[in-house]
Structure 1
């Protein structure tokens, strides 16, 4: 899947309700015709569905699109068992499972950056790059009320995270740190608070002295 198509899918997942072509173009910075082509491919792949908006005056209502969650189901069915086995092995064989998991996650985060370089707007604030990549991984990030706060409203490995929170959550925080390291964002600190909010984990990305913003 191309970078632009993956970004469009991430934008679809972040929408609280079905979105129009124009709205998705504004969210991704892609031309409407490009959005239309990518949406057709996502619909064909079963990753998105097309609907109709509310009629507004004359003419047909605008088409709307929403993510189906099919890819998340595929990830769960194919990789949850493997993730659980790896988490169990790390906890059983490592004297510092959380540290080793964080190291593995950081390597993963750096690999994500090398395979998907940040867009120009992410250089000004690498926190946006972190949130974009987390959306692509299926965490469904949402604003948390403060500029430094992001709520992760979906966990791609929820069952495994509940069974091995010290390992899986350390991997997830490691991913964030790996992205920040790759972006050379030395002034940004990351903290993850698992299951801290109703239906979400809270990610704090603070600049400088740790003040919000």
Structure 2
């Protein structure tokens, strides 16, 4: 199977779905990375797993409503193989309306505000405070921000450096059309998170579409005045 080439920047945040194991998630990503239905053996080869094991994962995805299963055309004796295909997630009308509203909002700020970026940051900051108040985790401010980014739908990935990779984006369509506005909403979200944990020393710096598969967020120390 050939995976789709990754464009710079994160993937869209998917709609809410049942919790998946790591192996089930890997199988789902393989289905999403190809066009059309595929055989169990194709997914098994790509993942380096036994076909029987992969079949169980794929059937679990079908049960969860994340994939569909059809019979291949008969090519002789024996029962035709099952074919699996990811279910298109954009059938969710709520998500479409939310994404469309975000595009309209970003366009409105860009057209009407004297400082669209500042207005977007303040909007995101208010939103970020509201969401961050709903959850606290053990750890320092950076751990709190990562937890809140997870809640926001950014699927953050981080090592021990100050840089956090944002591999998903809940407002991807708006970010592509109005990056100077939408990405500042995201900066505001992080600032709102820091407000809730009471940290005034960290300054979020976002690099949109920094590399294939993610945007990059740095939490820099504030410069002394």
After TM superposition, the score normalised by the length of structure 2 is: 0.59
Select the structure that is richer in helix.
Answer: 1
Q: SS of 1:131's equivalent?
A: helix
1:142 aligned onto 2:161: no
C-alpha distance in structure 1 between counterparts of 2:116 and 2:223, whole Å: 29
- Structure 1: how far apart are the matches of 2:135 and 2:173? 31
Structure label with greater radius of gyration: 2
Partner of 1:36: none
Alignment CA distance shift 1:209-1:95 (3 Å): closer
Name the structure 2 match of 1:192.
206
| CA separation of 1:100 and 1:160: change in aligned 2, threshold 3 A | same
After TM superposition, the structure 1 = structure 2 runs for residues 128-207 of structure 1, keeping only pairs within 5 Å, are 128-143=143-158, 145-207=159-221
In structure 1, distance between residues paired with 2:98 and 2:222: 37
Could you list the per-position Cα deviations for residues 88-132 of structure 1 after superposition, in whole angstroms to 9, with x for gaps in the alignment?
111110010000000000011111122x1312x13xx11111111
Larger RCO (alpha carbons 8 Å, 6+ apart): 2
For residues 187 and 203 of structure 2, the distance between their equivalents in structure 1, rounded to whole angstroms, comes to 11
Q: Does 1:99 align with 2:113?
A: no
| TM-score between the two structures when normalised by the length of structure 1 | 0.62
Matched, 1:77 2:91: no
Q: Residue 30 of structure 2 aligns with which residue?
A: none
Q: RMSD between aligned alpha carbons?
A: 3.5
**Deviation of 1:86 (Å):** 0.8
Question: What are structure 1's unaligned runs of at least 5 residues?
Answer: 1-8, 20-53
Alignment length (residue pairs): 157
| Per-residue deviation, residues 36-74 of structure 1 (Å, max 9, x unmatched) | xxxxxxxxxxxxxxxxxx79xxxx9xx97889599x844
* TM superposition shift of 1:147: 2.1
Match of 1:196, SS state, is strand
